[in-house]
Amino acid sequence: MIAFDFTKMHGTGNDFIVVDNRGEKNIRWKPELVKLICDRRLGIGADGLLLLEESQPADFRMRYFNSDGFESEMCANGSRCICAFAFRLKLCEALFSFEANDGIHRAKILKPDHIRVQVFLHRTREDRTFPADFSLPEGVSFVGFMNTGVPHLILETDSLEKVDVQGLGGRLRFHEYYRPQGTNVNFVFRRKESGIAVRTFERGVDAETLSCGSGVTAAAIAMRRKYNIRDRKISVFTHGGNLSVDFSEEEDSIFLEGPVKFVFEGTYRKEVEP
């Protein structure tokens, strides 16, 4: 018998199963189980699974699994959700830190449903840019490739409505140039009014998600550099809602800010482990 309580949450449409995994749960979070519970027809349904665990260096630890069943380094929207979850459990104050697979992050509860988290720009040497054997369609151009907790390819488009996110994103996500881990693919449009709009083909989900926090952050960094934008805060519009990316002067402290929502709570039970 597998049984656990869960909370369903989303951050601007990026949805997660959140589980308090402290103590003796005796659950082996194998890829087959994670994939099953994230399945939108056969399970609870989500873009990923978040586990809240105990941490020595921080207030708590976050583990993140994509809906393909495999653990990832970081999820920015997921981290905003689990921060709200931990705050509801009274595990932290309004200003705190949490541990993820890519390091210790700072976070702040602006309101119970509005969370600000630190996103790292990993500055390890990255020689990859864009595959030389791949031709982009008219109206789409390469902007950058970087790691904001997970790898992200950023492409600028002159039409977010017309760009083939699923087809083009899927081909680039699995391109041999980005092996072995693959990449997320972000399509970004610079708005005339202010800010940017982003659509993301997300690695691990292997489909477009309504929002991707680390992708939004990567897109904001890339566009800020390309157009020499000096604003300390960039507004980002996604299909799932609005976010903002805040910068220090040196880009050494980057924060993603936006809303989260508790959707429902439940108990998952399965007689035979998959």
Residue 75 annotated in active site: yes
How confident is the model over 62-120, as pLDDT tens digits?
A: 999 999 999 999 999 999 999 999 999 999 999 999 999 999 999 999 999 999 999 99
Segment 154-173 shows an average pLDDT of 98
Structure tokens at 40: 């939108």
Model confidence pLDDT, tens digit, residues 214-243:
999 999 999 999 999 988 999 999 999 999
What's the rounded Cα separation, in Å, for the pair 54 and 60? 5
Average pLDDT, integer, range 129-146: 97
Q: Is 131 contained in some domain?
A: no
Q: Structural domain tally of the chain? A: 2
* Active-site residue, 212 included: yes
Q: Which of 38, 81, 83, 212 is catalytic?
A: 212
CATH code, domain carrying 196: 3.10.310.10
The parent domain of residue 75 ranges over 2-120+260-270
**Among candidate residues 191, 192, 172, the one with its CA nearest the CA of residue 183:** 172
182 occurs within a structural domain: yes
Considering the domain architecture, whether residues 77 and 44 belong to the same structural domain is answered as: yes
Choosing from 75, 81, 83, 92, the catalytic residue is 75
pLDDT exceeds cutoff 90 at 259: yes
**Are residues 235 and 194 in contact, defined by beta-carbon separation less than 8 angstroms?**
yes
